[in-house]
Amino acid sequence: MVWHSVAPPGDRDLLNRWCDSVGPPLTMSGAPPPPSLTTLVIATWNVHAGNGDVEAFLASLAKLPGVRPPYGVVLLLQEAVRAGVEVPERYPDLMRPPRGIRARRREYEVASLGERLALHVAYVPSMRNGRLFPSDAREDRGNAILSTLPLSDLRAMYFESNFQKELEAALAALVGVNIHLLAETLAPAYDPEPHHRPPDVALWAKQVAAILVQM
């Protein structure tokens, strides 16, 4: 996986602290794809920290009009959760991670999904999913690509969000042989909490421009 940082050089220490609070990227190989496809389904989904029922969604695809077998699937997931000892038990000083969002079912965790469904997986964390954990319940959350087709040319991009509450991470991959896709949650254009900064829509433009350069 190739890493790119598109944050200002002065933010390096801050970004390093965020990176030290999460686990490493995750990649997994899945089952070989069929020799040819009739349909390719590409879906993007914010699964809200692992609360989306990915398996039910995949099971529903065969009933959709226009989806004919053999078909392939690529899921671009935002706020996917990874659980395990790879996530540090504690986080660095001088930072305060966001509170955790708990999944209804642990099996929605991204590595468990990939293994159970025999999918190719690429995942990069954006932040811890909580602050302090029991040793067997460490989690981070970020962007993931789950695919029935092999993933290659993996690239991760990190940049700071406008409110300094979370680290933004983008993940790009070559799917199959000739499709480049990217999973990313852009920084919010507004802050719903009172007494915080006004909207910074210009940040979206900067993030998208930086992503396009790397793509």
Give per-residue pLDDT as tens, 40-85: 999 999 998 888 999 999 999 999 999 999 999 999 999 999 998 8
185: helix, strand or coil = coil
Neighbouring-strand partners of residue 28: 121
The terminus-to-terminus CA distance of the chain in angstroms comes to 14
pLDDT classification of 121: cutoffs 50, 70, 90 = very high
Centre a 10 Å sphere on the Cβ of residue 23 and count the other Cβ atoms it contains.
20
CATH number at 2-187+195-214 = 3.60.10
What gap in Å lies between CA 142 and CA 49, rounded to an integer? 8
Amino acid at 73: V
Give per-residue pLDDT as tens, 29-41: 999 999 999 999 9
pTM for this model (two decimals)? 0.84
- Phi then psi dihedrals of residue 212, to 5 deg: -65, -35
> According to the model, what pLDDT value does residue 210 have?
60
Q: Does residue 193 surpass a pLDDT of 50?
A: no
Tell me the domain boundaries of the chain: 2-187+195-214
User: CA quadruple 106, 117, 88, 48: dihedral positive or negative?
Assistant: negative
